[in-house]
């Protein structure tokens, strides 16, 4: 009888040690997963959770220049995301947010939880927008000849993008509400993308 009790105790101890080891391994794997998360992945998860839940709560974004906006992320790119700006005007205002221009995100508890949740199946194959960099998006705006505002670390400019290089844009500066014509262009400013905080459409 004593041997049976001894073996039962040993088996119970072994099971407890194995269970504790599995818990430790799972905790370490979770720490490693969280350590690999990027801002882009967390913004994507927040956007996806809002779309799936049907209730989109805005995300507070703080930029390099100190500006703060409430936005609903819409499309996520490789190093940027497009968003609807919340609460500024009655009209829907859109923007392009370079991730390099973001210094902080203000999240609700639900957004933090959503942003940290394990990713679902199919995320290893990013969609087309997720593979596109900021210069591609700016080239599209250049082709469309859209007048826009560039918010820079050093201030704001209004105009139309004439050209997009690898790391800069040429912005034809003109008055707001005026169509871009040679006679209306006050100057052409070469703007390095490193100083770009936000593009308002």
Give the Cα separation of 72 and 54 in Å (integer): 13
Radius of gyration of the chain (CA): 25
Here the tokens at position 186 are 């006050």
pLDDT, tens digit, 9 for 90 and up, residues 89-119: 667 899 999 999 999 999 999 999 999 998 7
Here the tokens at position 21 are 């080891």
Which DSSP category does 170 fall into? E
Domain segments of the chain as ranges:
1-36
Q: Say what the pLDDT of residue 7 is.
A: 60
Order of strands, sheet of 93-98, starting from the edge strand that comes earlier in the sequence: 102-106, 59-63, 68-76, 80-85, 93-98, 196-200, 147-152, 155-164, 168-173, 187-192
Q: Say what the pLDDT of residue 143 is.
A: 97
pLDDT, tens digit, 9 for 90 and up, residues 165-190: 999 999 999 999 999 999 999 999 99
Closest CA to 62 of 155, 157, 198, 199: 198
* Banded model confidence at residue 3, pLDDT cuts 50, 70, 90: low
* Banded model confidence at residue 14, pLDDT cuts 50, 70, 90: low
**Is this prediction's pTM over 0.85?**
no
């Amino acid at each position: 009888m004593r041997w049976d009790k001894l073996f039962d105790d040993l088996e119970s101890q072994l099971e407890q040690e194995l269970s504790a080891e599995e818990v430790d391994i799972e905790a370490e794997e979770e720490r490693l997963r969280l350590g690999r998360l990027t801002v882009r992945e967390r913004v994507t998860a927040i956007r996806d959770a809002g779309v799936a839940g049907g209730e989109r709560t805005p995300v507070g974004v703080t930029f390099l220049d100190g500006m703060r906006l409430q936005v609903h992320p819409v499309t996520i790119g490789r190093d940027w995301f497009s968003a609807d700006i919340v609460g500024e005007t009655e009209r829907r205002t859109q923007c392009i947010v370079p991730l390099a221009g973001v210094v902080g995100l203000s999240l609700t508890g639900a957004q933090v939880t959503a942003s940290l949740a394990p990713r679902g199946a199919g995320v290893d194959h990013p969609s087309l927008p997720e593979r596109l960099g900021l210069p591609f998006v700016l080239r599209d705006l250049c082709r469309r000849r859209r007048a826009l505002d560039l918010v820079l670390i050093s201030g704001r400019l209004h105009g139309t993008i004439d050209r997009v290089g690898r790391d800069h844009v040429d912005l034809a500066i003109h008055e707001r509400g005026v169509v871009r014509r040679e006679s209306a262009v006050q100057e052409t400013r070469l703007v390095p993308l490193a100083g770009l905080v936000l593009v308002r459409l």
